[in-house]
Amino acid sequence: MAIYKLQINGQTYQADVEPDTPLLWVLRDHLGLLGTKFGCGIAVCGACTVHFNDQAVRACVFPVSAVGSASITTIEGLSEQGTHPVQQAWNEVDVAQCGYCQAGQIMTAAALLKRNPNPSTEEIDAGMNGNICRCGTYHRIREAVTLAAAKLK
């Protein structure tokens, strides 16, 4: 076990865990940040997507020991009240079915738009293709990313 000081959502958290513990389980089991979901554990579904600085990463395979002083943003930190344009678009388009994948989808979309505020349809498809939605909300995801991009203008 080792003590890690983590910068998450603008706050400093501390966790006493083994170095190989994936960030996902530190967030969920130790810090009570439960918005980040477990779907596959092998970086292929995107349910656990968080931001590492401004980049979307898969927390299920990201060891806590590799976080260092980077600033981590989870769905809880994107905006607490759901006021981030991507969250708002997700609500307006009524994207969720079961909703389980959506934190990961939103975090992926937010990182995508940060990097490319004006994505083409192909760029949206490419940017969102790594996130599985088992309920099949893909059409609305496309629509919501487009709407969020418009809101950001």
Partner 1 sequence: MSSQPNTSRRNFLKQSLLAGGGLLIGFKLYGAGLAPAGEIENAALAAGSVDFNSFLSIATDGTVTIFSPNPEIGQNIKTSFPMIVAEELDVDWSRVKVVQAALDSSKYERQVTGGSGAIPHSWKRLREAGATARQMLMEAAAKRLKVPVGELSTQNSLVMHKASGRQLGYGELAADAAKLPAPANVKLKDPKDFKLIGKAINNVDNGDIITGKPLYGIDFYREGMLTAMVQRPPAFGMKVKSVDAAAAKAMPGIVDVVRFDDKVAVVGKSTWQVMKARKALKVVYEKGAALESSTDHDRLFKELLDSKEASVRRQDGDVEAAFKRAAKVVKSEYQCPFLPHSPLEPMNFFAHVRADGVELVGPTQTPDRARGVAAQITGIAPEKITVEMTRMGGAFGRRLMADYVEEAVQVSKLAKAPVKVIWTREDDMTGGNYRPAVRYRFEAALDASGNMIGYKLRGVGINAGNPTREHNFPSGSVENLLIDSVEHQSPITTAPWRAPITNFLAFAEQSFIDEVAQAAGKDPVQFRLELMEKAKKSPVGNIGYDIDRMQTVTRMAAEKAGWGKKQGVHQGFSVYYSHRSYVAQVGEVALEGGKPVLKKIYAVSDCGQVVNLSGARQQVIGGIVDGLGHAMYGNMTFREGAPEQQNFNNYRLIRLKEVPEVEIHFVDNGIEPTGLGEPALPPTGAAVANAIFKATSKRMYNQPFLEQDAMKGLSQ
Residues within the interface to ligand FES (CB under 6 A): 38-41, 43-48, 58, 60, 96-102, 133-135, 137
> Collapsing DSSP states into helix, strand and coil, what is residue 129?
coil
* Backbone phi, psi, residue 49, to 5°: -60, 130
| Nearest distance from C-beta of residue 131 to ligand FES, angstroms | 8
Q: Is residue 80 at the binding interface for partner 1, with CB under 8 A as the rule?
A: yes
Find out whether 48 and 37 touch, Cβ atoms under 8 Å.
yes
> Collapsing DSSP states into helix, strand and coil, what is residue 102?
helix
Cα torsion 140, 83, 72, 105 to 10°: value is -10
Stretch of residues binding partner 1 (CB under 8 A), selected from 51-59, 73-81, 110-118: 73-81
Find out whether 14 and 30 touch, Cβ atoms under 8 Å.
no
Judged by CB under 8 A, how many residues of this single chain contact partner 1? 67
* Residue choice 57, 101, 109, 111 for contact with partner 1 (CB under 8 A): 101
Decide which of ligand FES, partner 1, none touches 72; Cβ closer than 5 to 8 Å per partner kind.
Answer: none
Q: Which is nearer to partner 1, 30 or 114 (CB)?
A: 30
